[in-house]
Amino acid sequence: MKRAKRLWVIDPSIHHAEDECVEQILAGWTGERRIFRPSLSPGDGPGPGDGCDADGVVVLGSSASVHEPLEWLRELGAWLMPLLDGRRTLPVLGICFGHQLVAHLAGARIGVLRDDGGKDLGLRETVLEGGRLLPGRHDLRVVVSHRETVETLPDGYRVTARRPDVPIDGLEHDSLPVFTFQFHPEARREFVTRRGLDPAAVDDRVVGDSDRLLDAFRRRVASS
């Protein structure tokens, strides 16, 4: 008898747990699940001493910067490296901070999006094209909330999503099942309300576009 597939979600939030976002990542997931909150609950891994019996990993957003000298961030980076350099192969999805962290660990430059340090916040249009997760071209309406951005393409990756002012809105490893996005496919009404946006902006199109992407990743994990 085959064991149930295991999906791990890492929520590196600094101020409060993103329960709604985690719920969206795990929507419809019938296998085992495990949630880590390494910043809110110090010692709650995963860290370099932890094993990895997962079948898929999602790294969510955070108000932290990949450049900060934080112990939990150092440990998380060390834990992720075998999944990014091919020593261990399993699907990885990085979202916003997770996107930046994967790119940073792969050698990309991460910098501020705007000279004044301001945040790009709201609903935007992005073009997803040329990736394995959702083959073909997809014009998506997505939620964005970030101050930093991936400025250079890391070795071994290709760009899979682009929007005005953010030419690297999505990345995919050339051979490993590593997929990252600067936007938030897991964001729903609570997420945007907390950031001062009108929750009605998360309409049927936003939810549908986001669900397609998350469904594709869950299917990838289930079939791994």
Any catalytic annotation for residue 52?
Answer: no
The one catalytic residue among 21, 96, 148, 173 = 96
| Cα 150 to Cα 109: distance, rounded to the nearest angstrom | 6
**Active-site residue, selected from the candidate residues 99, 104, 146, 184:** 184
Closest CA to 78 of 55, 105, 103, 96: 105
In the residue annotation, 184 being an active-site residue is answered as: yes
Q: Which two tokens stand for residue 135?
A: 């083959």
Q: Tell me the three-class secondary structure of 123-151, residue by residue.
A: EEEEEEECCCCCCCEEEEEEEEEECEEEC
Widest distance between CA atoms in the chain: 57
Cα distance between residue 135 and residue 142, in whole Å = 18
* Contact by Cβ (8 Å): 143, 187: yes
Q: Which whole-number Å values give the CA distances from 125 to 16, 53, 172, 183, in the listed order?
A: 28, 36, 19, 10
The CA–CA distances, whole Å, from 186 to 19, 131, 162, 196 equal: 11, 19, 18, 17
Cα–Cα distance measured from residue 163 to residue 223, given in angstroms and rounded to the nearest whole number: 30
Does the active-site annotation cover 32?
A: no
User: Mind telling me the catalytic residues?
Assistant: 96, 184, 186
